[in-house]
Structure 1
């Protein structure tokens, strides 16, 4: 099957900012649920993703604004675009277009690793530096997948 149906947490997503890492783990779990949910449950899972993204993005946006994070405007703009896409697709799924909901879940599972690696890692480093005066320390398990 060509469709991506698994998106599991991977320690490579850890950024060294505990609150951010925990919300990212929840996001990954929700995307996995959207990729595998029965059709009848997909509207509810997308509603969960929308609620999660609202809180997730609002928290990161607040950190960027309150901590004077450089480049925050671009990061916030990306959050807004992703959230708008989620809302748009959520409405289409409610109207019966299940396939577009699966496409969104797949697209988000492809988007998230790069977003976390580039944009969120810079934010995590900024926050840790401002709070503790140093760089984040990240311990990752070396798990080999078959």
Structure 2
């Protein structure tokens, strides 16, 4: 878990302002880099038009396979205690994305946009609780201590 006292992202992120910021940092560089990519991919979904939405949903699915696969592998290889719950949540998001892709390909852009908006609300809580625990676990296993997170206070 982060060791500073900076505010963490709100569990209900405003889709209009969903962007990377230091509050998303967890102190495990590999995970932080992947999470930055996640935010960029979701931002692409939020900004997609009817023509590009299916490609943007596919880009999200491709990212999620890599992102979640990497985290799932870390959890399995290190016997992370909360792995089952965390892996199941990843699988649920991916299953939803596949359903959304089918709808987007059929021209249902509204459902894809609602999915993107839901991701902006889901991600902060997922990162704050499940991913922060995994980040702390990985840093402890690799470096013998807790992650140190320095967040800028930019107004």
Superposition TM-score, scaled by structure 1 size: 0.94
Residue 75 of structure 1: CA displacement?
0.3
Please give the alpha-carbon distance, in whole angstroms, between the structure 1 residues aligned to 2:63 and 2:104: 18
Q: Find 1:24's aligned residue among 12, 15, 35.
A: 35
- Rounded to whole Å, the distance in 2 between the matches of 1:38 and 1:95 is 14
Q: Which has the higher contact order (CA 8 A, sep 6+)?
A: 2
Structure 1 runs of 4+ aligned residues shifted over 6 Å read none
RMSD (Å), alpha carbons: 1.0
Is the Cα–Cα contact under 8 Å of residues 26 and 135 in structure 2 kept in the other structure?
Answer: yes
CA drift at 1:6: 3.2
Q: Which residue of 1 aligns with 2:111?
A: 100
Aligned match of 1:66: 77
Between the aligned partners of 1:124 and 1:5, the Cα distance in structure 2 is: 28
Structure 1 stretches lacking a partner, 5+ long: none
Which residue is equivalent to 2:22?
Answer: 11
Which residue of the partner structure matches residue 125 of structure 2? 114
Higher helix share: 1
User: Are 2:135 and 2:147, in contact at CA under 8 Å, matched by a contact in 1?
Assistant: yes
Secondary structure, aligned partner of 2:15: coil
Is residue 5–residue 32 contact of structure 1 (8 Å, CA) maintained in 2?
A: no
Name 1:42's counterpart in structure 2.
53
> Matched residue of 2:45: which SS?
helix
> What stretches of structure 2 of length at least 5 have no aligned partner?
1-13
Task: Name the SS for the 2:150 alignment partner.
Answer: coil
Equivalent position SS for 2:69: helix
Give the 3-state SS of the residue equivalent to 1:39 in structure 2.
coil
TM-score, scaled to structure 2: 0.89
After superposition, the C-alpha distances for 1:3-42 in whole angstroms (9 at most, x for unaligned) are: 8333110111100000000000000011111111222111
